[in-house]
Chain A
Amino acid sequence: MNLTLKIWRQKNAQDKGKMVDYQISDVSGDMSFLEMLDVLNEDLNNKGEEPVAFDHDCREGICGMCSLFINGEAHGPDRGVTTCQLHMRKFKDGDTIYIEPFRAKAFPVIKDLVVDRTAFDRIQHAGGFISVNTSGNTQDANAIPIEKDNADKAFDAATCIGCGACVASCKNASAMLFVSAKVSQFALLPQGQVEATDRVLNMVSKMDEEGFGACTNTGACEVECPKGISLENIARMNREYLVASLK
């Protein structure tokens, strides 16, 4: 395949940044999207130009490090996958592909396609945990049976990879899906109950403070979430929040 790539280049957070065109040839359908960028970068490198910076690590859809807004969609056109799992066979010879960073006020650009998503971490510092000592003096794990259905739902919520696609695809840049996934995981487990009130209040207020927008229930986040985190979690968090605010 021969492709035209229009890629966002931005030297650093202060730089204004612009789209730059690149031509790439001999792209095979077996390549992942990131491998295609590797080939482009090798080429740029050989020409003495600076390669395009982009985030990635595991390249198997689990670390949540890769990002990229591809042709107007977070993680590109394929459903239920991250960018590292997107393969070039989803594109056609001669295509023009727009590649941009995840844009949101709370995710400042670091360079080119790399953004700073540490706001997610800071929300977790505000309450994304159960306060138990890591001393090894905990009670036997089977002492509190957990209904399988709840355990499975907690697990489903816990599979969020913190990629930020939900934020990038939301017109308000809201982090509700991400935060609700964490709140739900603990809300569904007996161990998480004790601190439930503080947790939801603190995490939500931190989320606002970090500059994420409000949720207007448009559902774009759920559609683009590579892990299928469902809107149900937002509903659960809203209930938790309401109960907590009334306490």
Chain B
Amino acid sequence: MALDSKTPNGSVADKWTNHKNKINLVNPANKRNIDVIVVGTGLAGGSAAATLAELGYNVKAFCFQDSPRRAHSIAAQGGINAAKNYQGDGDSSYRLFYDTVKGGDYRAREANVYRLAELSANIIDQCVAQGVPLAREYGGLLDNRSFGGVLVSRTFYAKGQTGQQLLLGAYSAMNRQIGRGKIKMYNRHEMLDLVKVDGKARGIIARDLVTGAIERHSAHAVVIASGGYGNVFFLSTNAMGSNATAAWKVHKKGAYFANPCYTQIHPTCIPVSGDHQSKLTLMSESLRNDGRIWVPKNIEDAQAIREGRLKPTQLKEEDRDYYLERRYPSFGNLVPRDVASRAAKERCDAGYGVNKTGEAVYLDFASAIMRYGKEQANIKGLNADDDALVKKLGTEVIANKYGNLFQMYEKIVDENPYETPMMIYPAVHYTMGGVWVDYNLMTTVEGCYAIGEANFSDHGANRLGASALMQGLADGYFVLPYTIGDYLAQDIRTGKISTDLPEFEEAEKNVRTQLERFINNNGTHSVDYFHKRLGKIMWNKVGMARNAQGLNEAIEEIAALREEFYNDVKVPGTMDGFNQELEKAMRVADFLELGELFAKDALHRNESCGGHFREEYQTEEGEAQRDDENFAYVAAWEYKGKPSDAVLHKEELEFNDVKLVQRSYK
């Protein structure tokens, strides 16, 4: 099938308005006769479910947690971008569009990104109207902060809990519709397959995680809003339950999966401390505004630190290597995430890591503390040469800005970051790849849509901070509710779709067979055992830097591991009740396929771009080398039985409104 992005004609700024004016509408009286299933109730699914219900559709929403309020979106810390230009610093839809396309290393669809930028301002209005308490200034107006990689202040936030507050806003909009009976909410339910009738998505098979019952649910359209697949690495900053099953199952039913290798690695996470580790914790990016990143200059010092013979605070200034400031004098510690992450790995690989495992660098606030302290002493007319006093005053300033993060660090690491530099290391954070969708957010399966982190659409290869939340809400509140009408307009006479159709029967049977297989397998190892091994392969060979040899090895190893998993996994308990190991088994089974496609995608992309870094394709200075001539396309994979047989389809990207230039942060 040829990929048709259905991007409307006309100038980029008018596309969305023109499109909205032309798409089919469903008469309000008819909406009552149409059912829509929404899988996932994070920012994307929650906002979509609420809006679809409000428009009049009957919505069935599903999430595997006990409440929509707990979806992974709740964990987002930093903020959400919007081109409001409240600060009067020259922001505009165009500028946000431009920054986002450039930040994605020119691997995103222009028209989608423009629409996102255009809708961003509406999101803030909507959330504030819903009672989301975004940060305010003393004058009572909304406050903004600045995020890495851009020159304007356009990030709205609610302390370090922006995702929480935005999600609770969407959740409250859902609650209103649940109370009115327009949304039927299925908590603790997991979608395990998509049902297609006559080539169209017409329902899902879900498992009630409490009773174990396997259920059939029909609808006129199915929306996948199940989040990202970062947990294919086992260790990531994602919530433990985040998984790829819903997205992967629609892929297996014909939805192309795009750019799986685009993964964002976040540079400021708390390093791994041991084998017991279950997940990684992100420390907000904002720390890089004041923290300086370094490792020892001499390898002997690094070794002494690792062995506990030397303290970082004992190392003299001239014995420290502030490698980001050295390599990137203009952006310094504020280079984009992929650049900062790779630079840390490079130093650690060269033997300069500073924790026991050699996989950590320092994030040091000592000079910021002294700088702020001096400033405060001067303001207050105190003795700016009194180091102890200056340090005390500076510590107060830092505590005001980052207190909760410092406290979180101290709880986990058991060291006081005011006294000794923090240790950080990159971790998998966000996946830009996902289910391929057209401009209407429809996948290559008719009637099946994908929104939020589950789709691939707006971020290209290297999402900037604060744009994932924006995309989730734009898709859910403002894009999908329009575009889905265009499709559903044909369905006003269809009537209820029976779940007795043979297609439902067969899908249910397949799900049941897979569940039974796990329960009866009687192998020797737990699900986690396999998941951890998959994670190691992914991190070592498909992680921050990749090369052809490692990728080829990974592809083979993952296929072999998958085989071993099916033969040797042990899932205790039964399938007719609450069984968390069984839930995990079903999820890891899908990761074991996705991981292989991920490596295959990384192998075929013979260039480096943003979050995808192939060691063979770098400039003399070790920076990513894009190949716009040959790779300015979206790689969309069609399922053909095994990941190794997946067939590549290309959506060529056209750039009419931005010029492709090399990103440089020197």
Residues on A close to B: CB < 8 A?
11-12, 28-32, 34-36, 38-39, 41-42, 44-46, 48-51, 53, 55-65, 81, 85, 87, 89, 110-111, 114, 116-118, 120-121, 124-136, 138-142, 145-148, 151-152, 154-155, 158-159, 161-162, 185-186, 189, 191-192
Residue B198 is within 8 A (CB to CB) of chain A in the complex = no
11 contacts between A and B (CB under 8 A): A28-B276, A58-B72, A59-B239, A59-B278, A59-B281, A60-B281, A89-B414, A121-B185, A138-B122, A138-B126, A148-B138
Contact partners of A147 in chain B: CB under 8 A: 136, 140
Give chain B's interface residues, CB within 8 Å of chain A.
Answer: 47, 50-51, 54, 65-70, 72, 74-75, 84, 86, 119, 122, 124-131, 133-142, 158-159, 161, 164-165, 168, 171-173, 175-176, 178-179, 185, 187, 210, 239-241, 273-274, 276-279, 281-282, 408, 411-412, 414, 477-478, 524-526, 528-529, 570, 572-573, 577-578, 580-581
- Docked-complex contact A134 and B54, CB < 8 angstroms: yes
Inter-subunit contact A62/B164 (CB<8 Å): yes
**Residues B70 and A64 in contact, CB atoms below 8 Å apart:** yes
Alpha-carbon gap, A113 to B124, bound state (A): 39
Contact B572 A50 (CB under 8 A): yes
Q: Assess the A31–B161 pair: CB atoms within 8 A.
A: no
**Given A46-B526, A118-B67, A158-B165, does the pair A58, B74 have CB atoms closer than 8 Å?**
yes
Shortest distance between the CB of A123 and any CB in chain B (Å): 9
B131 near A185 with CB under 8 A, answer yes
Question: Closest A-chain residue to B570, C-beta based?
Answer: A45
Cα distance A83–B446 in the bound complex, in angstroms:
44
Q: How far is the CA of A158 from the CA of B122 in the complex (A)?
A: 22
If A28-B274, A57-B65, A126-B179 touch, does A142 touch B187 (CB 8 Å cutoff)? no
Contact across chains for A35 and B69 when beta carbons are under 8 A apart: no
A-B contact count (CB 8 A): 220
CA distance A48 to B578 in the complex (A): 17
A118 to B63, CA, bound (A): 13
Taking a contact as CB atoms under 8 Å apart, the answer to whether B142 and A42 are in contact is no
Interface core residue of B173, B281, B414, B572 (most chain A CB under 10 Å):
B572
9 other A-B residue contacts (CB within 8 Å) besides A31-B276, A152-B133: A35-B278, A39-B276, A41-B526, A42-B529, A58-B75, A58-B240, A121-B67, A151-B136, A185-B133
Set of chain A residues within 8 Å of B277, measured between Cβ atoms: 35
Contact of A129 among B130, B137, B158, B185 (CB under 8 A): B130
User: A155 CA to B187 CA in the complex, in Å?
Assistant: 27
In the complex, residue of chain A having the shortest beta-carbon distance to the beta carbon of B141: A142
Bound state CA distance, A52 and B187, in angstroms? Answer: 21
**CB contact under 8 A between A117 and B67, given known A59-B239, A125-B179, A186-B131:** yes
In the bound complex, what is the Cα–Cα distance between A162 and B133 (angstroms)?
17
Whether A87 and B414, one on each chain, are in contact in the complex, defined by CB atoms closer than 8 angstroms, is yes
- Check if B172 sits within 8 Å of A128, measured CB to CB: yes
Chain A residues with CB under 8 A of B126: 132, 134, 136, 138
Q: Within the complex, what minimum Cβ distance (angstroms) separates A146 from chain B?
A: 5
A110 touches B179 (CB 8 A): no
Q: Which of A62, A135, A145 contacts B139 (CB 8 A)?
A: A145
| Partner among A118, A138, A151 whose Cβ is within 8 Å of the Cβ of B129 | A138
Determine if A87 and B131 form an interchain contact, defined as CB atoms under 8 angstroms apart: no
* A147: nearest chain-B partner, CB-CB: B140
Do B51 and A42 touch across chains, with their CB atoms under 8 A apart? no
A30 touches B273 (CB 8 A): yes
Beta-carbon contact of A53 and B578 below 8 Å: yes
B207–chain A nearest beta-carbon distance, Å: 15
Q: Per a CB cutoff under 8 Å, which of A38, A129, A131 touches B276?
A: A38
